[in-house]
Amino acid sequence: MSASASAAVSTSSVAESTRRDSVPEIIAASMVGTAIEFYDNYCYSIASASYFGLVFFTSVAKSNMALATLMSFVTFAVSFLARPFGSLLFGHFGDRLGRKKTLVVALLTMGIATFLVGCLPGYDQIGAWSVVILCVCRACQGIGLAGEWSGAALVATENAPKGKRALYGAFPNLGAPIGFFCAYGLNLLLETFLTQDQMVAFGWRIPFLCSSVLVIVGLYVRARMSETPVFAKAAAENRTVRHPLRSLLPYWKEVVLGTLAMGITYTLFYVLGTWSLSYGVSTLGFAQPEYLGMQMVSVLFFAAFIIVGCLWADRSGRRKTLLITTAVTLVFSLVCPMLLGQESVLRVMLFLCVGFVLMGALFGPCGAYLPELFPTKVRYSGAGLSYNLAAILGGAFAPTIATALVTRFGIVSLGWYLAVMAAIALVALFLIKESKDKDYEA
């Protein structure tokens, strides 16, 4: 075969390997797993705030319910502590073997662990072993979750046309409010028709068991998607590496600063979604269905401002968008305690809606911002590690820290906690350079 013919075959092979899925296929493949991820996390956060103290820490709950709830929040953190290991594992295979295969395995790992949580016996059946098994399931859930977001973000952004990468990066991030709405909606429905005793006895299990339906749908969608054109082109041109984690070492600064920049996003997320539910019911005196309803309304602002934030990021730049939104979050942090001093629907709704507006504007652009910090050969590993370390820094102990601070020092301490996290993020964003396209074009 002549040299020109070989070149033609090679070009044809690359073109074939870089076929893009349709926009609906990209949206479905990137969004479905993230929706399940956040559905699982929110089901766990609701259960840990409301039921796990009674189910898994029964002996403690009989004498001190607040301590039992605090201990259940600690099990909530186990998933986050497992995430760096998951991001290293799935990042290695995602950068070496491709996004598609890795995402299918991540989704399956996450789904099985979540389903098993719904099957666990409680403390009354097997004693302390129930807590041990719960923590093991939660750790496995975290390992699966760790490979999910970064892969989904790459499915979206590595298929995006130039100039719309942040907007495409919104697709997986929109899975967060969808998962939130499904989790809180199902729990609200259950709590409307079941008594408190029934929810403790078996009702809390239903959302975990129902996740199996979402996982089946997700696996079907993921199995049909194509490899991203950017990775396919890199593989065809022999630009992938055998040891992605080793190749990630020169980018340690991007990992650290990306982690610090995104920490406030997770803190705000779980203060609004998990801590405030416990505080609103136990301290402010709202009925749980009433507070869940307020959170479901406010999450609509979260979804809307994911889109707004991404459109702004495509127009003005990721870093500028995140800097301004983080600065506004710092101001909100110092004001928000005044909204939580009494049982007032108007004040609590203002706290939730403004908080979720800021959360959306922070969370949306990160789908493009973090992956753009790294070249294709280590993008899955780098973006995933930054994102999951930020989950530990900002989210793992956010409900526990907020509960402990408010119990000891009062509601004003919540504002200072959020303000410190926002200040850390601002410093990191000032230090890190504007994201570059690097080799993002297919």
CATH code of the domain in which 408 resides: 1.20.1250.20
**In the predicted structure, residue 86 carries a pLDDT above the cut 90:** no
Mean pLDDT of 411-431: 96
Say if residue 4's pLDDT is above 50. no
Query: Is residue 10 in a domain?
Result: no
pLDDT confidence band for 111 (50 / 70 / 90): confident
Check residue 31 and give its pLDDT. Answer: 85
Count how many domains the chain has: 1
Mean per-residue pLDDT, 160-185: 87
Q: Could you tell me the two tokens for 295?
A: 């959170």
Residue 122 lies in a domain: yes
Residue appearing with tokens 């099985």: 112
Question: Quick check: is 439 in a domain?
Answer: no
pLDDT of residue 22: 73
Decide: helix, strand or coil at residue 441: coil
Q: Kindly state whether residue 79 falls inside one of the protein's structural domains.
A: yes
Question: Which DSSP state fits 437?
Answer: -
Could you give the CA distance from residue 388 to residue 394 in angstroms, rounded to a whole number? Answer: 10
Q: What pLDDT does 439 receive? A: 57
Residue 2 resides in a domain: no
* Domain-embedded: residue 282: yes
Q: What is the pLDDT of residue 221?
A: 80
Position 184, amino acid: Y
410: left (phi over 0), alpha (psi -120 to 50) or beta: left
**Is 400 inside any structural domain?**
yes
Per-residue pLDDT at 436:
54
What is the number of other CB atoms lying within 10 angstroms of the CB of residue 256?
16
pLDDT tens digit sequence for 19-32: 566 777 777 878 88
pLDDT at 16 over 80: no
Cα separation, 384 vs 91, in Å, equals: 7
The per-residue pLDDT for 353 is 97
Which has more confidence, 86 or 238? 86
In a domain, 306, yes or no: yes
Summarised one tens digit per residue, pLDDT across range 337-385 is 999 988 899 999 999 999 999 999 999 999 889 988 988 788 888 888 9
Query: Quick one: tokens of 393?
Result: 């820094």
pTM of the entire predicted model: 0.82
In the chain, the percentage of residues whose pLDDT exceeds 90 is 38
- State yes or no: pLDDT of 142 exceeds 50: yes
Residue range(s) defining the domain that contains residue 305:
22-431
On average, the pLDDT of the chain sits at 85
- Does 15 score more than 70 pLDDT? no
Q: Could you give the CA distance from residue 254 to residue 244 in angstroms, rounded to a whole number? A: 15
Query: 135 falls in which pLDDT band (50, 70, 90)?
Result: very high
